[in-house]
Structure 1
Amino acid sequence: MPDNATTPVPAAKPDSSAQKASPSYRLAALDPDFLLGDSTRGARFMLEYQKAEDHLRARGILSTIVVFGSARVREGQPWYEAARAFGRLASERGGALAPGDLGRDHVIATGGGPGIMEAANRGATEAGALSIGFNITLPHEQEPNAWSTPDLTFRFHYFAMRKMHLAMRASALVVFPGGFGTLDELFEIITLVQTGKMRPVPIVLYDGAYWKALLNLDAMADAGMIRAEDLALFCYAESPEEAYARIVEGAGDNWRPATEDRVQT
């Protein structure tokens, strides 16, 4: 080696901190940026289905009575107290109090919010029964009401998946007066039944005066937009007892304990 040559100094061995800090190194299941990204929307949709489904099956929920109505109705108002009374008597008579290992039928299920939803969940809880709250994330945060069973209280991002869970176990729908959201749920179920995508279930509109003033569905039949017999897809009730009687009458032989095959979609 020439006298003027220098001995190379070996480069310091780098550590792997930069690699470990990179978002690409995160486990996919623990990477919030990836999980909440556009490309994983389908996976999030599937997870919203599966998480609620696992909890419902663990509690033996075979069928539900879905109760909808305005979130703006408050305790002490007639519609609130009627929904509360209905939630209680339907839970006492419908099978929601059965031991869990036998499966629970006709469990009260609501959108999980305040107003009519709170009242129905409250009535079920006062009867000693489980009840379900399918809540939704909204721009103006909606708190879950305090009366749904805690481990059967869910929060959804996607309206479509929330609607699917409301519909797939429904053995009846009772619709109290409400606004756009209530109408959305009402027509969702009516359309599914009308088109044969869902088995026929009793659909009860509570307080006929409200609904008849709001909706002139006879005009749709007169114009040929629906069949005349489609008007029989729903009925009216004026008291909690009548609402429950309408359900039992409308369901006929189908008002019986659900079986596992009825839950599948």
Structure 2
Amino acid sequence: MSKEQYSSEEERIHERLKQKPWNEIRSNDSWAIFKIMSEFVNGFETMARIGPCVSIFGSARTKPEDKYYLLAEEIAEKIANAGYGVITGGGPGIMEAGNKGASRGTAPSVGLNIELPFEQHFNPYISHDKNLNFDYFFVRKTMFVKYSQGFVVMPGGFGTLDELFEAITLIQTKKIAKFPIILVGSEFWGGLIDWIENTMINKFHNASPDDLKLIKLVDTSEEVLQVIEGFYKKYSLSPNF
């Protein structure tokens, strides 16, 4: 098959397999550790200075006129005015809405951007010096979970599901503290909750019924804030801004 007959993705795979001996590829991959290390160091040093934050996850494809964009904006503003910084993925859609709402509040608006071939770019509502750029998803996700004291999950796609289940898994396995995970939008998340309860837990016994208690399903900004503040009140904690 000639090069012209390959699709762009097929060509990428074909070129990857033929261009170098595997031992040379592995050798070059070893040097990536220095790039990974620099992303961790920069992320740790920047995020450690910010203080307690709540992460907001959601789709990059959500338009400004969408009700969930407007709701994410409202939620972020209330979280920021309550004294918590807001962390998003730094891009458009729900991420932009989160940073936009937080920028009207009194706490930092943080963006953890990822280099992608489409959709992703910094939004203009991130606080000065609070925008970080990553090449590696796993480094970026470490920053989300290490420096968040709560997770608000708006409707989204595969990336949002990845972030959601990362947080659930780390809490379930006690790798991080049991911070609140709040799903916003029962019309979007209701089917997933039903599947987890009826199929994953009750039918196949692949999770514990207690694991479902890690998740709160809400529909309003007031409910989001009640969950977050209720958690902090329970443990006699408060934001330290």
When normalised by structure 2's length, the TM-score is 0.82
Aligned to 2:56: 67
For 1:20-99, what aligned pairs fall within 5 Å after superposition?
Answer: 37-57=28-48, 60-93=49-82, 95=83
Percent identical residues? 36
Q: How has the CA–CA distance of structure 1 residues 171 and 114 changed in structure 2, closer, same or farther, with 3 Å as cutoff? A: same
For residues 132 and 238 of structure 1, what CA distance do their matches in structure 2 show?
A: 24
Contact 1:248 1:255 (8 Å CA) reproduced: no
Equivalent residue of 1:74, what SS? coil
- The one-letter code of the counterpart of 1:256 is S
| Residue 231 (str. 1) matches residue 212 (str. 2) | yes
For residues 108 and 240 of structure 2, what CA distance do their matches in structure 1 show?
A: 17
- The one-letter code of the counterpart of 2:52 is S
Larger Rg: 1
- The one-letter code of the counterpart of 2:94 is I
Query: Which is worse superposed, 37-46 or 148-157?
Result: 37-46
Aligned to 2:200: 220
List per-residue Cα deviations over 1:140-184 (Å, max 9, x = no partner). Answer: 362111111131111100100000000001100000001100000
For 1:106-255, what aligned pairs fall within 5 Å after superposition?
Answer: 106-140=84-118, 142-215=120-193, 216-218=195-197, 219-222=199-202, 223-251=204-232, 252-253=234-235, 255=237
For 1:98-109, what aligned pairs fall within 5 Å after superposition?
Answer: 106-109=84-87
Contact 1:202 1:246 (8 Å CA) reproduced: yes
Moved over 3 A (4+): none
For residues 177 and 208 of structure 2, what CA distance do their matches in structure 1 show?
A: 18
Equivalent residue of 1:204, what SS? strand
CA drift of 1:56 comes to 2.7
Contact 1:70 1:179 (8 Å CA) reproduced: yes
Equivalent residue of 2:152, what SS? strand
Contact 1:133 1:144 (8 Å CA) reproduced: yes
Gaps of 5+ in 2: 1-27
Q: How has the CA–CA distance of structure 1 residues 238 and 255 changed in structure 2, closer, same or farther, with 3 Å as cutoff? A: farther
- Give the total of aligned pairs: 210
For residues 118 and 239 of structure 2, what CA distance do their matches in structure 1 show?
A: 39
Gaps of 5+ in 1: 1-36, 96-105, 260-265
CA drift of 1:39 comes to 3.1
CA drift of 1:70 comes to 0.8
CA drift of 1:128 comes to 4.2
For residues 150 and 240 of structure 1, what CA distance do their matches in structure 2 show?
A: 26
List per-residue Cα deviations over 1:78-107 (Å, max 9, x = no partner). Answer: 1011100111011111x2xxxxxxxxxx31
- The one-letter code of the counterpart of 1:196 is K
For residues 174 and 47 of structure 2, what CA distance do their matches in structure 1 show?
A: 25
Q: How has the CA–CA distance of structure 1 residues 206 and 141 changed in structure 2, closer, same or farther, with 3 Å as cutoff? A: closer
